Structure 1
Amino acid sequence: MEQKIVLITGGSSGIGKSIGNFLKTKGFKVYGTTRNLTKYPDFNDFDLLELDVRNTTTINKAVSMLLDKEGRLDVLINNAGVGITGPIEETPHEEILKAFETNFHGPLHMIKAVLPQMRKQRSGLVINITSIAGYMGLPYRGIYSATKSALEITTEALRMETKDFGIQMTNLAPGDFATNIANGRYHAPILDDSPYKEAYGGTLKLINEDVSGGNDPVQVALKVYGIIMAKNPKVHYKVGSFMQKFSIFLKRLLSDKAYEKLLLNHYKL
């Protein structure tokens, strides 16, 4: 069987790196991306390409380099993303736009860059890494939830638009995993004179605890491998703790107000 070529955005650390290392052990040829190659002079887990998902010039250059070398691309994993927390009222709008640029527009730029090659091949798989947070509006994470929800819904449309070309698309929504996402996340400062001071401060503490106490990201890698090996990938996949996945089921089961009360209780609001 011909070796599959995989491109993972945000592959230098966290979930992306775990996915890349695992797929490499399974015989895939893996390329990861990072915004700045000079920060990783000793990275040798797999090949890294310099690419910023917010910059189409870097995307086109990196994709062209990969195709010139390999002649094909079998799997694109849109993993690059940023976190953002804060009261929506107090979150600078430029930070909201930055989050959408990376988490929503970035994957769309990537998909547009690889579709011509996949269409030419009459084959290809796109896996968009979203989030369980994208299934619900979470307090003080509303913008993050919105970026991931937008990608989930857009993927549903893209699946139908590209199915006749032999291209498959799917979403994989992780829960909380132990990565360094909190270090690179934008969070609105807790202001002393803010009406949200106590509620936001307490919620931010809970969010950080959930991430630091998260599961091993290799679980996401295992799920990605299963999706790649599936003959007909589903529209949506979830990976995380039982309660995180169960929260999506509860949202379908409960009334809107009952579910809202459940979230308020969880965040002690």
Structure 2
Amino acid sequence: MGYVVLVTGASSGLGKSIAFHLHNLGHTVYGTSRDPKKYTEDFPFSLLSLDVTDAASIEALLIELEKKETKIDVLINNAGVGITGPVEETSLDAIRANFETNFFGPLAMIQGVLPLMRKNNNGIIINITSIAGYMGLPFRGAYSASKGALNIISEALRLEIAAQGIRLMTLAPGDYATDIASRRFHAPVIEGSPYQKAYQESLDTMDSHVDGGNDPIEIAHRVAELIHLKKPRPHYLVGPLLQKFSLTLKKILPQKAYEKLLKNHYKL
């Protein structure tokens, strides 16, 4: 029996792969996009309008879904945006905007969906975070912080809702071949800045990692497995072995030794 699945940010990238795969497995999938009308391709699943930073948009989406379905079995909080820049030179408005999408957006979706799931004493929530959320990466500090915050609040929330029959977990991807680089906010590389050389090299490295990343269908397959788990762990990782191993190194190495690895990697 298939689930009714809501996937935010399903018009491109990881969300699109997840939504397509779950649809092909026989689930009833509703994807979302800020502007579904701009996509000319035919999606095999319903693509609905949603801005996760807008309370009215969330309310309208959930009202529409309640007219179509008697339940929502699975929420996959995938909608997110990237941001890069030296912390000193990245505007606080840009950082706040990133948190609105990457942190407060998923929380708003969860607050909206929980009453619907509680009616059936059943539900699954997967928050898509990032391996970057487990460490403070130079020139990606704001992104690491927003995803790290989502990781931590997910740990608290899953304990609060466990008795209601609702399961929550996070899935942290590494670098995958998507168009995220084209949609990422970049603080400008400033001529004469003390960060100029290292930041530019970091941008080049980030883009090459994404371009050379694995196929996002790997994430879709992992999500398809996770939604069937009766007793999921709080956190799951998916991505290149070396990126996942970096988290193991962080656990076992002295802090200064791990920091030195990062400094060497980013040529700092």
User: Structure 2: which 5+ runs fail to align?
Assistant: none
Q: Partner residue of 2:137?
A: 138
| Deviation at residue 233 of structure 1 after TM alignment | 1.3
Q: Partner residue of 2:84?
A: 85
Deviations, residues 39-98 of structure 1 (Å, cap 9, x unaligned): 124332310110000001101111111121111000000000000000010001110000
**CA-atom RMSD, angstroms?**
0.8
Q: Partner residue of 1:167?
A: 166
Q: Give the alignment of 1:1-269 within 5 angstroms.
A: 1=1, 3-269=2-268
- TM-score normalised by L of structure 1: 0.98
CA separation in 2, counterparts of 1:67 and 1:167?
19
| SS of alignment partner, residue 125 of structure 2 | strand
CA separation in 2, counterparts of 1:45 and 1:141?
35
| Deviation at residue 250 of structure 1 after TM alignment | 0.5
Moved over 3 A (4+): none
- TM-score normalised by L of structure 2: 0.98
CA separation in 2, counterparts of 1:175 and 1:74?
26
Count how many residue pairs are aligned between Structure 1 and Structure 2: 268
CA separation in 1, counterparts of 2:236 and 2:43?
30
| SS of alignment partner, residue 170 of structure 2 | strand
CA separation in 1, counterparts of 2:40 and 2:267?
44
CA separation in 2, counterparts of 1:266 and 1:196?
15
| Deviation at residue 25 of structure 1 after TM alignment | 1.2
CA separation in 2, counterparts of 1:214 and 1:239?
12
Deviations, residues 207-244 of structure 1 (Å, cap 9, x unaligned): 11111110000000011011012121111000001101
CA contact (8 A) 2:4 2:27 kept: yes
User: Structure 1: which 5+ runs fail to align?
Assistant: none
CA contact (8 A) 2:11 2:36 kept: no
Specify the code of the residue in structure 1 equivalent to 2:124.
L
CA separation in 2, counterparts of 1:87 and 1:267?
13
| SS of alignment partner, residue 102 of structure 1 | helix
